[in-house]
Amino acid sequence: MKLQELDLPYLPMEDPDFARDPYPYLERARSVHPWLAKGAFGYVVHQYKAIQDLLRQDGALQSAYGGIVDIMGAKNTPWGDWTERHLLTAQQERHLRLRNVLAPKFTPRQANENRALMRRVISELLDEWVPAETFDFEEFASYFPITVMCTMIGAPPSAIPSLRASLEALGLSASMQRDHVPALQRGFEHIDGFAQELVAARQAGTRLRPQRDLLDDLLEAVNNGGLSLRELYDLLVFLFVAGFDTSKNMLTIIMDLLLDRPEFYARCAGDYAFCRDVMEEALRYCSPATIPRITAQDVTYRGVTIPEGTGLYFPVSIAGRDPLFVPNPDKFDPGREKRASHLAFGMGMHMCLGQFIARAQIQEGLHLIAQRITSPRRAGPSSWRPFYGVWGMRGLPIAFTSAPARQQATGDATS
């Protein structure tokens, strides 16, 4: 059957009401068609199994971030050009070459080696923030991934506040909101300039720490001819952007979930392994990404032919709520089986390279946050960011009782 002949429900993912609570919309859509809906910018594949099956077909799908530049009306602009050439947009050999440069630096082992750094960063942030006993958790959380990334590439801490402002702007890159484009341009140009200065300083022999770091590894790839300088700048900007609001939003979503589940929250303070269970269940339950793709050829799936050039959106953020994936999907249950096979980090050739870093950061962060921020409660209203792109909460004001630092756990991904 042809796609156009199907009577499909409409999923208003661009609607702020959808962003606030997508699940009733999802349930209604499911009752009309088991896996497919129409959206404002193409079709939406919402069923867990269909997302998994289709995203695995790397040859049949191309990433569609270039198309987002068109939708945003930003062709031939610095941000638009960068989006059209960055890692997620790159295809075939070019993608493989760029991914192969990064992949050896983003293994579970590398992530584990950074756990001590992550613990240090979150502890210092907690030392600074907890005495107030009230703050916006989203703002607090935003400093965590950016400080870790800056340390991993040897960037000076003084760069963090302005980088954060630019990354906040770039967080709405795929939001499909055209009025945001000027802020995207400013944000991109600032981080690009920062990347170029950092690389130039390193090439001139200036470095903050004597230890070899990620920037040394990437520069080695440039020196070996595996990467051009322009590609290095693009990768650095991309790593900041890819790791910033995904991690910050996920940690904030987890805090939001735990504010309503104080027994789980309290257990996170003493039970390091449980923090990982909470994180994996949260990634299944509600996570930030919707993946855009365009069909590179006609694709027939379960008898439906999707023509070449069709825009498809895969809301992996909410796919874990599919009742065919797990029983009782709306229950947040860190003890459940199968939770780790969620799709929060995507699937196929663009699957998140930073997933081990992200997981380590969240586990370490959650454990120490729960020790230092006790009895947290909501202290003001929150809202939700646009669902397209990187979804998450906008603001999570909390009040709490501060507690002193405890002995730190020393674990790795297997703990």
Taking the least distance from each CB to ligand HEM, the nearer of 54 and 130 is 54
Tokens representing 11?
Answer: 């999923």
Q: Please identify, among the stretches 131-139, 204-212, 243-251, 332-340, the one whose residues bind ligand HEM according to the rule CB under 6 A.
A: 243-251
**Phi-psi bin for 377: left (phi > 0), alpha (psi -120 to 50), beta?**
beta
Among 125, 167, 195, 250, binds ligand HEM (CB under 6 A): 250
Question: What SS3 state is found at 2?
Answer: strand
Please name every residue paired with 326 in a beta bridge, in sequence order, or none if there are none. none
**Nearest of 112, 172, 121 to residue 145 by alpha carbon:** 121
CB-based contacts of 107, cutoff 8 Å, min separation 6 = 356
In angstroms, what is the minimal distance from the CB of 190 to ligand HEM? 19
The candidate with the shortest Cα–Cα distance to 256, out of 385, 132, 397, 403, is 397
Query: Amino acid letter at 350?
Result: H
Positions 75 through 114 that interact with ligand HEM (CB under 6 A): 87-88, 99
Stretch that binds ligand HEM, among 37-45, 298-306, 338-346, 369-377 (CB under 6 A): 338-346
Instruction: Choose between 130 and 386: whose C-beta lies nearer to ligand HEM.
Output: 386
Using the minimum distance from each CB to ligand HEM, give the nearer residue, 317 or 400. Answer: 317
Tell the smallest beta-carbon distance from residue 87 to ligand HEM (Å).
4
Window contacting ligand HEM (CB under 6 A); options: 14-22, 72-80, 353-361, 373-381? 353-361
Binding mask 187-226 for ligand HEM (x = CB under 6 A): ----------------------------------------
Binding residues for ligand HEM restricted to 293-322, rule: CB under 6 A: 316
Binding mask 4-43 for ligand HEM (x = CB under 6 A): ----------------------------------------
Asked if 353 touches ligand HEM (CB under 6 A), the answer is yes
Specify whether the CB–CB gap between 152 and 214 falls below 8 A: yes
Q: Which of 29, 37, 358, 369 touches ligand HEM (CB under 6 A)? A: 358
Output 52 or 246, the one with its CB closest to ligand HEM: 246
Lookup result for tokens 């370490």: 364
Distance of closest approach, residue 346 Cβ to ligand HEM, in angstroms:
3
Among 80, 329, 354, 389, binds ligand HEM (CB under 6 A): 354
Distances 285 to 266, 282, 370 between C-alpha atoms, Å: 20, 5, 20
SS3 label, residue 228: coil
Strand partners, 204: none
Q: Which stretch binds ligand HEM (CB under 6 A): 43-51, 235-243, 263-271, 294-302?
A: 235-243
Contact residue for ligand HEM among 39, 171, 288, 315 (CB under 6 A): 288
> Amino acid letter at 328?
N
102, 353 in Cβ contact below 8 A? yes
- Alpha-carbon distances of 293 from 51, 69, 150, 237, 311, rounded to whole Å: 11, 13, 31, 22, 6
Return the biggest CA–CA distance within the chain: 63
Q: Alpha-carbon dihedral of residues 78, 82, 84, 87, nearest 10 degrees? A: 180
Provide the binding-site residues for ligand HEM, judged by CB under 6 A.
63, 87-88, 99, 145, 239, 242-243, 246-247, 250, 287-289, 291, 316, 344-346, 350, 352-354, 357-358
